[in-house]
């Protein structure tokens, strides 16, 4: 299995989890940003780790202690 195929498979699994855990409204509101993030990873523009770090930084900004 190629790295691209592995990533796409991981994205599908993650989407299934998200679809199960969040309302359709939340899923729909995040779709564009999520697809853009996935495309940047697939294009080699960023890594999963970089995207994860950016998401965690945003979460911390939105959820201060």
Nearest Cα neighbor of 37 from 28, 29, 46 is 46
Cα three-residue angle 41-45-51, rounded to 5 degrees: 50
- Burial status of residue 65 (CB atoms within 10 A of its CB: 0-12, 13-18, 19 or more): exposed
- pLDDT, position 1: 85
Tokens found for residue 28? 């729909």
Per residue in 24-63, pLDDT (tens digit) is 999 999 999 999 999 999 999 999 999 999 999 999 999 9
pTM for this prediction: 0.81
Query: Taking a C-beta distance cutoff of 8 angstroms, is the pair 6, 41 a contact?
Result: no
- pLDDT, position 3: 86
């Amino acid at each position: 299995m190629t790295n691209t195929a592995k990533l796409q498979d991981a994205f599908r699994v993650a989407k299934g989890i998200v679809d199960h855990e969040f309302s359709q409204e939340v899923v729909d509101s995040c779709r564009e940003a999520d697809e853009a993030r996935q495309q940047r990873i697939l294009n080699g523009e960023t890594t999963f780790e970089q995207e994860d770090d950016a998401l965690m930084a945003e979460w911390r900004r939105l959820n201060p202690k």
